[in-house]
Amino acid sequence: MLLRPAREEEMQAGALGAPMRRVEDDRLLRGGGRFVSDLFPRDALHAVFVRAVAAPAELRHVDTQAAAAMPGVRLVLTGADTAALGRAAVNPLVDGLKAAAWPALAAGRIEAVGQPVALVVADTPAQAQDAAEAVVVETGAVDAADFDRAFAQEWVSGDVERAFADAAHVVRVELAYPRVAPMALEPRAALADWRDGAMALWLSTQTPHRARADIAAILGLGIDAIRVVAPDVGGAFGGKASIYPEEAALALASMRLGRPVAWTATRSEEFLSAAHGRALKISGALALAADGRFLGLRATVDAELGHWLTYSAVVPARNAARILPGPYRIGAVHLAARGSRSLRAPVGIYRGAGRPEAAMLMERLVDAAARRLGADPIALRRANIHPAASLPQPMPAGGQLDRSDFAALLEAARGSADYARLRALTHQRRAAGAVCGVGVALYVEPCGQGAESATLCHEGGGRFTLATGATAQGQGRETAYAQIAADVLGVSPDCIKVVHGDTAATPPGVGALASRSTAIGGSAVLEAARRLIGTLGAVPAKGWSAVPAGAVEVNYTAADEAWASGACIACVEIDRETGVPTVERLVWVDDAGTVVNPMLVEGQLRGGLAQGVGEALMERIVYDPQGQLLTGSLMDYSVPRAADIPPATIVSCPTPSAANRLGAKGVGEAGTIGVPAAIVNAALDALAPFGVEDIQMPLRAEVLWRAMLNGETDR
């Protein structure tokens, strides 16, 4: 993507599509950000959680007496206090989902290390911490609880038995996608303020309106008694899309005390008890005709859900199933998705949410097929993709593939990577002793369905206030939404004030997740701007000064779901002596549909790419066999630094979506979907001369070194 510097005059021509600088950044870069922890009032009390240190266990007794008598302590809550609370909702996206218990504080039994067992509230954080250490938790041994299936669903299309019976070749891949941490820079934080029969909650959340409904159900109050505010949020990545037990306990504490109660999670608490991502086991078999046609696909997705279910607990498994078989024409498909609870922290959505796992399976299968057939990986993909003219196209697990041009994506990637030369160079380097390879990935990404809201008010004099049910955690939403509205209204984006995050100031909406906020929330903004013009009448040539004040409210529902797509090519070199991998080159062609602001798109793509590189090469949450978390700090859990991010060429190749008014597709999650698959395929290509056909993520030096060693000894 070639970016020119933002210039005023470019914006005059029409705000939509202009590389406008983010209006948020001046404030944020000067330290003017207002995150939840910046909003704690002087009279706030401070909460610290007592957490389980071993699991599973019978919880016999929590002795709070000594703690309650310590200086500054106002309240100690245990599971007995929270037992009567209601429960948070779980999105029932599969048949027969079995809901799990949802204790705000553990009662009767402890299910995971890190589970909150008691809440101590004191005048200062230090007093609360001291008192928390005086809480005595008595436990007894239990057999590892039998966590049965939470759900299982299958989808079949075509004659799968026949496809595999007719196959000239069948290739198989089995992979365990590591459990990883979403790792927002800002940890969870909450402030609960109960006064005059109403609850105000400031949360570091992606979904304030849903949190409002959850807190109302948990506390047994009408929704009108609850206000939730998401102020500046320092990253979320799916990890802040669900209400948490800690937040429910905090709200109860404020209700009991009639005082504001504040909590900021430590980094270790985030690793211990915030929702993780991925942790899918996924296996598949691809049946091929002798000429390389894909005949059939069988795939099984096994999700580990952790000990309680986040709102979107089912989404990763469901998403993995519904993007298969990716961009390929396969007549016979059998998909199975299952989820089971486990004695660990919850697993929820994380940037990509099932799509990276399924793309990894599909793309590894295709590269394995290319090796089996002696075919070129790009040529094999080209021979099996849906032609652009045949899209939209229904998918086996529901939904339909959006308009896309997969051949154009592959050809753009081929050209941009100078693919033929790259392959030739790889052969030469190998002949000279290097361990290096080229990997390809082509992916599809459902992103953006359902409804979002917007209210747009002309305040008079050409000034506007736009309130949205969507939220922001660093995406530049205020900039993008102002551009969309300004383009329709024929004004400069700085005439539009964008309001979000506060349920008292915005219409009910979904929030920011699932790469939906531009496609759906942006379409709501577009619709609102058009309707406002319709309501107020034609704007006179001399501008808005003569137009009266007025407002419209829109609840926009997309006709269908947008699907983004992209093609990636990665080059990886592996040090023969140490196994250290280097991603030498990444080319990524992305279809984001209508682009509102190319600078924001590139920022989102590069951010996702960084997290995609992290999960491919280094990130992994590790528990020991007793369920103790071994990666509980940034000393132990490896996230990529700036120097770990490879040079990447990003090329925009948009086909506007047919699914929503704006024609936009998602960009926030895209970087985690194709990039890891291309990197792993490149590593497997590099290791092919050693006879290595399988490798598990993350691709740490040790893993690669052992693979080379074993490959050599095996032969």
Based on the shown chain and the rule CB under 6 A, indicate whether residue 350 belongs to the binding site for ligand SMO: yes
What are the tokens at 376?
A: 């070129």
Based on the shown chain and the rule CB under 6 A, indicate whether residue 274 belongs to the binding site for ligand SMO: no
- Output the DSSP codes for 114-134: T-EEEEEEESSHHHHHHHHTT
- Output the DSSP codes for 289-329: -TTS-EEEEEEEEEEE--SS--TTTTHHHHHHHHHTTTTB-
Task: Report the residue number, 206 or 503, with the smaller CB distance to ligand SMO.
Answer: 206
What are the tokens at 81?
A: 């206090």
Residues 578-607 that bind ligand SMO (CB under 6 A): none
Nearest-angstrom CA–CA distance, 323 and 335:
10
- Collect all residues with Cβ–Cβ distance below 8 Å to 151 and sequence separation of at least 6: 94, 95, 96, 97, 98, 314, 317, 337, 338, 339
Based on the shown chain and the rule CB under 6 A, indicate whether residue 238 belongs to the binding site for ligand SMO: yes
Based on the shown chain and the rule CB under 6 A, indicate whether residue 491 belongs to the binding site for ligand SMO: no
Based on the shown chain and the rule CB under 6 A, indicate whether residue 351 belongs to the binding site for ligand SMO: yes
Task: Report the residue number, 241 or 360, with the smaller CB distance to ligand SMO.
Answer: 241
> Given 3-state DSSP classes, what are the helix, strand and coil percentages for the chain, each rounded to the nearest 5?
30, 25, 40
Q: How far is the CB of 669 from ligand SMO (least distance, A)?
A: 6
Q: Kindly tell me the burial class for residue 675, based on how many C-beta atoms sit within 10 Å of its own C-beta (0-12, 13-18, 19 or more).
A: buried
Nearest-angstrom CA–CA distance, 303 and 307:
12
Q: Which residue has the tokens 């630094």?
A: 641
Alpha helices by DSSP H, listed for 630-673, are none
Q: How far is the CB of 171 from ligand SMO (least distance, A)?
A: 30
Q: How far is the CB of 562 from ligand SMO (least distance, A)?
A: 14
Q: What is the DSSP letter of 518?
A: I
Which one of 235-243, 409-417, 552-560, 679-687 is the stretch in contact with ligand SMO (CB under 6 A)? 235-243
Which one of 21-29, 163-171, 237-245, 488-496 is the stretch in contact with ligand SMO (CB under 6 A)? 237-245
Give me the 194-233 binding string for ligand SMO, x by CB under 6 A, dash otherwise.
Answer: ------------x---------------------------
Q: At what angle do helices 674-687 and 701-714 cross, to 10 degrees?
A: 30
Based on the shown chain and the rule CB under 6 A, indicate whether residue 117 belongs to the binding site for ligand SMO: no
Q: How far is the CB of 319 from ligand SMO (least distance, A)?
A: 9
**Partners of residue 453 on adjacent β-strands:** 555
Task: Report the residue number, 109 or 351, with the smaller CB distance to ligand SMO.
Answer: 351
Give me the 159-198 binding string for ligand SMO, x by CB under 6 A, dash otherwise.
Answer: ----------------------------------------
Nearest-angstrom CA–CA distance, 104 and 255:
15
Which one of 168-176, 299-307, 350-358, 456-464 is the stretch in contact with ligand SMO (CB under 6 A)? 350-358
**The only residue of 241, 251, 569, 707 in contact with ligand SMO, by rule CB under 6 A:** 241
Q: How far is the CB of 103 from ligand SMO (least distance, A)?
A: 25
Task: Report the residue number, 353 or 491, with the smaller CB distance to ligand SMO.
Answer: 353
Q: How far is the CB of 316 from ligand SMO (least distance, A)?
A: 9
Nearest-angstrom CA–CA distance, 217 and 85:
8
Cα–chain-centroid distance for residue 372?
34
Going 673 to 603 to 211 to 188, the CA torsion angle's sign is positive
Task: Report the residue number, 180 or 368, with the smaller CB distance to ligand SMO.
Answer: 180
Q: Which residue has the tokens 């870069």?
A: 29
What is the amino acid identity at position 309?
A: L
Nearest Cα to Cα of residue 173 among 444, 371, 446: 371
Task: Report the residue number, 410 or 664, with the smaller CB distance to ligand SMO.
Answer: 664
Task: Report the residue number, 238 or 656, with the smaller CB distance to ligand SMO.
Answer: 238
Q: How many residues bind ligand SMO (CB under 6 A)?
A: 10
54 with 274: CB under 8 angstroms? no
User: Residue with CB nearest ligand SMO?
Assistant: 238
Give me the 499-538 binding string for ligand SMO, x by CB under 6 A, dash otherwise.
Answer: --------------xx------------------------
Which one of 78-86, 345-353, 426-434, 524-532 is the stretch in contact with ligand SMO (CB under 6 A)? 345-353
Based on the shown chain and the rule CB under 6 A, indicate whether residue 353 belongs to the binding site for ligand SMO: yes
Task: Report the residue number, 328 or 350, with the smaller CB distance to ligand SMO.
Answer: 350
Give contact residues for ligand SMO (rule: CB under 6 A).
Answer: 206, 237-238, 241, 349-351, 353, 513-514
